[in-house]
Amino acid sequence: MSTVKLLPPGAGDKKRFLQNCIHCGKCVEACRFDALKITEGLDPLTAGTPYIDPEKAPCFLCMHCGPACPTGAISATEQKDADMGAAFLDKNLCYTYQGAIICRTCFEKCPMRNTAIILENGYLPVITDQCVGCGVCFYVCPRQAITLIPRERIHEKVRSEA
């Protein structure tokens, strides 16, 4: 499994975020689920900035990081506007679509259940375009049937196709 790193909810554009982040760590302190970590390394632009590694701890969209940010690098926003990325379900790997068992783990754990993930016909999970890419479904899927794409990669793809 490849490592996916996400910006915090409300960070928006990576360039703008990096220009405004002062590397204070207040967002990390405010994270109730210990999902935000500090980037290490020697790169002065990114070292000390927050990120989420959804393979270790996804964002549960508590939305406390934005109000804690003194510069607005992370905007205080609502869950529906978190815009961290998007999740995609591979039906060829999903237990439910394969008829092995009825698994509702992604649906049950989604912080935006019935919005970002719905159940078609009452049992088939469908990730909608309302997904904000928090990584919870990616983290909890027992079959690794969910791919998570960070915001900047999605927006790069859209720009390249335009």
Higher pLDDT pick, 154 / 4: 4
84-161 classified as CATH 3.30.70.20: yes
Q: What is the pLDDT of residues 89-119, one digit of tens each?
A: 999 999 999 998 999 999 999 999 999 999 9
Collapsing DSSP to helix, strand or coil, 149 comes out as: strand
pLDDT value of residue 160: 55
In the predicted model, is pLDDT for residue 14 greater than 90?
yes
Q: What is the pLDDT of residues 18-70, one digit of tens each?
A: 999 999 999 999 999 999 999 999 999 999 999 999 999 999 999 999 999 99
Residues linked to residue 124 through DSSP beta bridges, in sequence order: 120
pTM here? Answer: 0.91
Token pair recorded at residue 45: 């632009």
Collapsing DSSP to helix, strand or coil, 41 comes out as: coil
Q: What is the pLDDT of residues 125-146, one digit of tens each?
A: 999 999 999 999 999 999 999 9
Residues linked to residue 82 through DSSP beta bridges, in sequence order: none
